[in-house]
Amino acid sequence: MSKVAYIKKKFGAFSASIISMAEEICVEYARQGYDLTLRQLYYQFVARGIIPNKDTEYDRLGSIINDARLAGLIDWSSITDRTRNLQARDHFSDPADIINAIAPSYFLDLWNNQENYVEVWVEKEALAGVVAQVANRWDVPYFSCRGYVSQSEMRAAGIRLADKLDDHNQAIIIHLGDHDPSGIDMSRDIEERLSLFMTSGTHYPADEDDIHEIKNQQEDLRTYNLVVDRIALNMDQIRTYNPPPNPAKLTDSRCADYIGRFGDQSWELDALSPLQMDELISDAIQGYLDIDTWNKDLARQTAERQELVELSTRWADVSAFLKEG
């Protein structure tokens, strides 16, 4: 945790109260092991009735928080931008160092002996960091859709999932998205296009019999082998957590159908707290898991990690043995 000041600035009473509340929220989530994006922090203010849910208020909060961080009043590590990160390779001082360093990163495929194969897909890149914590905890791959998934990425996913069905009975996509016209439709789109690309396809040119066979394969996949489990946002969570609403996006071509089903309000996934999302994802994953098999494989992983640690402590002996050989 680090508060570092780069400017000196006086804040009015309203801004000072916002900064104090932001600090409390950030500390609360840091205790739970989370940082926040600015949008997640904004929704915490809206949910607590401190500011209205308006774009102008989001911009004003961003300006206040930016100045507060520069003035050393809010910890720099509390608020993160999950869409921009510097990438670099790791470096080590000697072979023993790398063996010791990789021991915690030695993972068995803990789903290899499970009947189901599971992935977590989230609509927004900004929430990938929240999803990553729980997905990594349960050894589940996760994917940021960034809205509607591109055709190339969806085909790659279909081929990947079809391959997983060689070793698993079902492929499950746990999906999280906004509760708005497009966010609801994305779950349908994922199921339809995945089931298309999980088929074997046919050589060009395709005739009517070929297309009919592909459609039959799609129906079989959706019936027996592919599950798209939309766990958030759903109306039951909206009733439970009461996130702040937004007007339904009238410019969205899917708006009329959405309003007919849900009314003229929509809700963003970001309005859920990281802890709420963590619990929803964790519960969903465990519903597809054989816990006894999991614990057995986890015990083996722990034992083999310890072997790596012991190897690193005896690297001088190993190195001498190799040189003698």
pLDDT, position 29: 85
| Residues near 296 by beta carbon (within 8 Å), at least 6 away in sequence | none
Residue 129 has a pLDDT of 83
User: What CA–CA distance (Å, rounded) separates 277 from 51?
Assistant: 23
- Examine the pLDDT at 133 and tell me if it is beyond 60: yes
pTM: 0.80
Question: How crowded is residue 105: how many other Cβ atoms within 10 Å of its Cβ?
Answer: 8
Does the pLDDT at position 125 exceed 60? Answer: yes
Cα–Cα distance, 247 to 229 (Å, whole number): 26
Residue 317 exposure: Cα atoms within 13 Å on the Cβ side: 5
Share of the chain above pLDDT 90, in %: 67
Q: Could you tell me if 255 and 94 are in contact, meaning their C-beta atoms sit under 8 angstroms apart?
A: no
Long-range pairs for 164-167 at CB < 8 Å and ≥24 separation?
A: 164/117, 165/117, 165/198, 165/225, 167/112, 167/117
Peptide bond before residue 233 is cis, with ω within 30 degrees of 0: yes
pLDDT range class, residue 19, cuts 50, 70, 90: very high
Q: In 10 A of CB 151, how many CB atoms?
A: 10
Task: Please check whether residue 233 is in contact with residue 267, taking contact to mean a CB–CB distance below 8 angstroms.
Answer: yes
Q: What is the mean pLDDT of the chain?
A: 92
**Which pair of tokens denotes residue 289?**
């898991």
Output the pLDDT for position 132: 92
For residue 34, pLDDT over 90 is answered with no
Please tell me the predicted confidence (pLDDT) of residue 94: 87
Q: Is the pLDDT of residue 204 over 90?
A: no
For residue 189, count CB atoms less than 10 angstroms from its CB and return exposed for 0-12, middle for 13-18, buried for 19 or more.
middle
pLDDT of 88 higher than 60: yes
With cut-offs at 50, 70 and 90, classify the pLDDT of residue 84. low
The pLDDT of residue 68 is: 95
Residue 1 has pLDDT above 70, yes or no: no
Alpha-carbon distance 187 to 164, whole Å? 21
pLDDT of residue 85: 67
